[in-house]
Structure 1
Amino acid sequence: MFEEISDYFLALAYVGFAISLMAFIPIYTKKIKITYIIPLLVMGAVIYWLEAPLPWPDPLWEFNFGKIVTEVIVIISLMTAGLKVGTNYTWGHWKKPLSLIVITMPLFMVAVFCLAHFVLGLHGAASLLLAAVLAPTDPVLASELQLEEHQDLDEKNTGLRYTLTAEAGINDGLAFPFVFLAILLSESGSLAEIDWWHFAWYYVLFKIVVGLMVGAVIGFIYSYAVSFHTDREKKYILKGFIALALTFFSYGLAEGFGTYGFLSVFATGVFMQYYRPADTDKNINTTMVHFIEETEKLLVALWTIFFGGAVMSGILSFTDWRGMLVALAIVVVVRPLFGYLAMATTNFSTAKKWAIGFFGIKGIGSFFYLSFALMHGTFEGYRELFGIVSYVVLFSIVIHGLTSLRVIDYFKRNNKG
């Protein structure tokens, strides 16, 4: 008994120490131009090697537990993205991230499906699931590439940061229909047995449209209610924890209606600023953005540490060298190529088009989708899927983590695109 209590306190000490370093890590990682995720990953591997008594994945968490952990992190990140984007962008601005949804996302999924099915030999349902879970640009691990704060009407970023932030907010929900299609395929056995009419109107139209509406209404009502209060009263209303509360409220209500909660949360964040005044000092309190952003970083730090432990405990061994090469190709070839194709019609410089295409960061959301699908479908060789996804996320963390801040600095210095 006393040994168990000792392990408990030791675990708390490990976690507390690791998280406390988050106050210092970003300072030094910015100096050497890498993201703070990389040292956290290394720290997780070291703490696992030291045999810290933490609830390590071995190398997987139980599906439901893994789903809940990643789910909470993703929805908080989506609220952060929504708050930063707000309602200050015109249709002309939105066309750029939507191009990544309409062009890049489907072409990316077709390419990943072909690689999984014809190169790795995965069956149809598993190949489709892999394509769906890797399709979204992760709003969590891409946070250092996204908008740094909420945007003003007159002075707002309309380039790389905005495009990637808006894309991540949208496509993290739009991947869900394809996840459900993979689940239906795994249960039915063939595409011919799927009720395509039901899939189209329910899983695609209803869940997307109503999910967005639920979030937009919640954000609009909140913004409208705030507008009736004085500046003094708003100091008590525009608190950071409200963003967190509305995150859970929006997600829970949307999922309760049977819609896509990810889209709802992002829409809530966007429309929370619908009735923002022209005076930027009276807009959505920056404390609100900073609070939920710090909450996001806390949870990301914990997840990254545990992912480092999963890598050490053998999650990469679930696939072979072919899976590793396919994962690398997905990160450095497939996404950059189709991302550039979507940006080809924009007025961005060639360098910025390639940068937006290249930084389709994959991360925590992929593990959520994978856990969710495995809880509801029947997939052969699911362990190999975890291995491939882990390689993709690991490559994304390392490659994008070593390059993203340098690319951002390049565009700042040269003011291109």
Structure 2
Amino acid sequence: MDTYFVILLIVGITSLFASFSPIILKRFKISFTIPLLFLGAILYYLKAPLPWPDPIWNESLTIHFSELVVIISLMVAGLKIGLNYSWKEWRNPLRLLGITMPLFMVAVFLFTYYILKFDGPISLLLAAVLAPTDPALASEIQLNKKQSASSKNVGIQYNLTAEAGLNDGLAFPFIFLAIVWSKNGSLGAEQWQEWLSFYLIYKLVIGILMGIIIGFLYSYFTKKLSNDNNRKIHQAFVAISLTLISYGLAEILNSYGFLSVFFAGLFAHYHQHQKNEKTESEPSLSFIENIEKFLIIFWIIFFGGSVMAGILDFITTTSLLFCFGLVLILRPLLGYISFYKTDLTPKKKLAISFFGIRGIGSVFYLSYAIKHGNFQDANQLYSIVALVILISIILHGFTAKRMINAFDDIEKKNS
């Protein structure tokens, strides 16, 4: 039997299943990631001829595939949010970034350093890897369409989308700090100066500026072109093109491409927002969302296979408790604390805090750091990150749709 045709058959059946999954899963109110996770495990058990992890992921392949999924998800998040939100409305997601995320990192560092007995660079790496929420796996509980100034979500879905859009880029400076620490054995004045000037300030500022400029220029020129009704842009490819341009240019300039992509998405509607109008030149969300979903499908399948392949074999009892504690206690607690004295209801605070989904971004960061740094115990690190993701997929996969439906019902009753 030709392996190539078997792979084609698997891809076709899997993508067809994903196409019909909304109908099937609507009744059970679970995320599409749950059955795909089990499908991956079954395909591994049946020895389907796919490039399965053995048991740890191939670093280069994992970096590039997870990187692609994340940047596409960031563009989707940026396009949906746009420039419709005021500074006041940005305060809540910024609390998650400015309060929850740093406290989470400190807590993870202290626990892994003093309880799990990892060295400093590894403890910092785990803190940075596990800190960001995931824009891809959390897509089902984020904004489901492009927002407008007159009608926009300012509750759970908006806060989770904005948080995921920003914190992937903001975790990267600490990944690099861990890499620098691992290579030098200590952090002296020279290392701190390099980190502050280059990895923190330069890369953050240039990444954000590149995104804003690319989004603004796209909006400006397409607005000019669309004034002539005879000139119409093929919208389907715009969003994916902006993703690749903003990410590629930012990385060429040694800045943070994740932030560049998100801000390019935010500013891609700049001139339309100024006049609160819709034009023929607006980037199409449907095409890039389908690409995002297609890539996530196969990422989840391979993740399910990696669980069967033994990626969790390096977990200890203490690290097992640590992983459950992160998802069930630490993130919900710190998230709730960050919303102290905000106008959100207690139930919304709890929901936003609870759904700090970990996923593909964490895998990218870990693989990137392992490849470029000098870290020991790589297998155990992969096991810890994989277990946190697995817990998040299952726990949030069974609860997210029910939560969103419950809040939608409440808002309909109040309206």
TM-score, normalised with respect to structure 1: 0.95
Q: 2:149, 2:276 within 8 Å by CA — same for their partners in 1?
A: no
Given candidates 147, 150, 165, the residue that maps to 2:146 is 150
Cα separation, 2, equivalents of 1:42 and 1:233: 50
* Structural mapping, 1:376-387, within 5 Å: 376-387=372-383
Q: Is the 8 A contact 2:181 2:187 kept in 1?
A: yes
Give the secondary-structure state (helix, strand or coil) at the position aligned to 1:318. Answer: coil
Counterpart in the other structure of 1:282: 279
Matched position secondary structure for 1:276: helix
User: What is the Cα deviation at residue 281 of structure 1?
Assistant: 4.7
Partner of 1:88: 84
**2-structure distance, mates of 1:12, 1:23:** 16
| 1:291 has 2:284 as partner | no
Does the CA-based 8 Å contact 1:273-1:283 persist in structure 2?
no
Report the AA paired with residue 300 of structure 1. Answer: I
Structure 1 stretch displaced more, 194-203 or 384-393: 194-203
Residues 74 and 139 in structure 1, CA contact (< 8 A), matched pair in contact too: yes
Structure 1 residues 17-52: Cα deviation after superposition (integer angstroms, max 9, x where no partner): 111111111222232111111111011111111110
Shift in Å at residue 348 of structure 1?
0.4
Query: Partner amino acid for 1:314?
Result: G
Distance 2:135 2:157 in 1: 12
Structure 1 residues 194, 351: CA separation in 2 closer, same or farther (over 3 Å shift)? Answer: farther
Distance 2:280 2:162 in 1: 20
Corresponding letter in the other structure for 2:224: F
Which stretches in structure 2 are left out of the alignment for 5+ residues? none
Matched residue, 1:359 = 355
Query: Per-residue deviation at 1:68?
Result: 0.4
Unpaired runs of at least 5, structure 1: none
CA distance in 1, matches of 2:389, 2:405: 24
Residue number in structure 2 paired with 1:404:
400
Structure 1 segments of 4 or more deviating over 4 A?
231-235, 277-281
The aligned counterpart of 2:215 is 219
Contact 2:105–2:131, Cα closer than 8 Å, also in 1: yes
Kept in 2, the 8 Å contact 1:88–1:151? The answer is yes
| Cα shift at 1:259 | 0.3
> What SS does the aligned partner of 1:99 have?
helix
1:179, 1:191 → 2: CA distance? 14
State the shift of 1:194 in Å.
Answer: 5.2
Residue 323 (structure 1) shift: 1.5
In structure 2, give the amino acid aligned to 1:227. Answer: K
Report the Cα distance in structure 2 between the residues aligned to 1:95 and 1:284, rounded to whole angstroms. Answer: 30
How has the CA–CA distance of structure 1 residues 159 and 50 changed in structure 2, closer, same or farther, with 3 Å as cutoff?
same
Amino acid at match of 1:224: Y
Check conservation: 1:183, 1:378, Cα contact below 8 A: yes
Q: For the structure 1 residues 319 and 193, does the alpha-carbon distance in structure 2 shift closer, same or farther, using more than 3 Å as the test? A: farther
1:181 matches 2:198: no
Backbone CA RMSD of aligned residues = 1.7
Report the CA distance between 1:322 and its aligned residue: 1.8
What is the percentage of aligned positions where both structures have the same residue? 48
- Indicate how the Cα distance of structure 1 residues 382 and 228 shifts in structure 2: closer, same or farther if over 3 A, else same: same
Q: Give the direction of change, closer, same or farther, for the CA distance of 1:33–1:113 in structure 2 (3 Å limit).
A: same
